[in-house]
Amino acid sequence: MASRKPREPDNEPPRVGDTLAALRQAQALSLDELSRKAGVSKSMLSQIERAQANPTVAVVWRLANALGVPIADLLGGAPVAAPPAIALVATQATPSLRSPDGLCELRILGPVDMAGHFEWYELRLQAGGSLDSQPHEPGTREHLTVVAGAMEVQVAEAVQKIKVGETARYAADSSHCIRNTGKTAASAWLVVIHPA
């Protein structure tokens, strides 16, 4: 009896065409609509769906985001485990930005995937420190709640002082600045809401 030849590993890259087409049709998206949402050309999408092209990881990532599915769903990988009921981000794992003079620190508390929609930060300003911002997209608003110290917000020519416990709400689609007006460190919660 002849021995069976061991099966050689499959060196073919995953073909995402059928899965992509099924997900797109399930969401009632045309090739044009998915092209706009994902930033991938219509001709490339068509080639992928007809198995005439294999997309790069970057393209698969864009398509997964546009369709609102895990990247593994497009690659045909194992299902992604359900997220834990409570996700904890350690203090040292919270990213932060610091001004060149070291007087301003912005800790990024919101998840990265919500950036550009809804963001929240912990703002820490040393005495004399400030956070200067260029205009955000039209319709963007900020909400600043002072937790310690004293701050002021300037939007264009308007200036408002804010004490502990007070919240300033203002349009952020023009140049604006948050300053520590006291002699000690100040901190606040900063929420940025972008237009839908």
Q: What's the average model confidence in pLDDT over 140-144?
A: 97
CB within 8 Å of 143: residues ≥ 6 apart: 167, 168, 169, 190, 191, 193
Residue 4 lies in a domain: no
Beta bridge partners of 189: 122, 145
Residue 173 lies in a domain: yes
64-114 pLDDT tens trace: 888 888 887 777 644 445 567 888 888 888 888 999 999 999 999 988 777
Name the domain count of the chain.
Answer: 2
Q: What is the DSSP letter of 194?
A: -
Q: Which domain holds residue 155?
A: 91-193
Residue 48 lies in a domain: yes
Beta bridge partners of 169: 143
User: What CA–CA distance (Å, rounded) separates 90 from 171?
Assistant: 32
Which residue, among 80, 82, 45, 46, has the nearest Cα to 60 in the 3D structure? 45
pLDDT > 80? residue 127: yes
**Res 115: pLDDT:** 75
Question: For position 132, which CATH number holds?
Answer: 2.60.120.10
Q: What is the DSSP letter of 85?
A: S
Residue 83 lies in a domain: no
DSSP 101-140: TSSEEEEE-S-GGGTTTEEEEEEEE-TT-EEEE---STT-
47 and 106 in a single domain? The answer is: no
